[in-house]
Amino acid sequence: MAQRHVGVGIDFSAGSEYALRWAIANLTRDGEMVYLIYVNSDVEYGEAQLWMEGGAPLVPMEEFGSSAMVTKYGVLFTPQVIEEVRVAAIHKDLTVGLKVYWGDAREKLCDAEVDLQLHSLVVGSRGMGSLQRAILGSVSEYVVCSVACPVTVVKAPKPCLELDGN
């Protein structure tokens, strides 16, 4: 059986961290490839100009905690998340990598589905009300309607969302 590719959209909010934990615990199977997909909206950011079209090269899990992640890509994992992913990767024999894109999160998550040949995509939900969603747009709603692979939208429990101020 071919290795399944599971993508998880992350933005370092409590909701996306919860979605990552959920995906690793409930969706992944032993030996699979997990892509953490981060979209930096700051297109003026250092590496953005170089990797604007197809995103940065895949970053292996061993480099997640390095200072270069912040400097080059604007990525800031908490030590707790890095450790949880590392332990899960060992336990389930997962291959984990980070793909960084620059631009609009909705469009780039859709691009990632094709670029990374995803079999499944998991995104968090910030729990916006209908008025906020109408004004700001919903990344998860756009992705659900636009990609070919199955998409799971994971809503964090209310206490998690309150940590983000939502």
pLDDT at 23 over 60: yes
Maximum distance among all Cα pairs of the chain, rounded to whole angstroms: 45
d(CA 149, CA 158): 28
pLDDT at 164 over 80: no
pLDDT tens digits, one per residue of 109-127: 999 999 999 999 999 886 6
* pTM summary value: 0.86
CB atoms within 10 A of CB 2: 6
Helices (H), the chain: 14-26, 48-51, 67-68, 79-92, 105-115, 130-136, 139-146, 158-164
What integer is the mean pLDDT of 23-32? 95
pLDDT (0 to 100) of residue 154? 92
pLDDT (0 to 100) of residue 99? 95
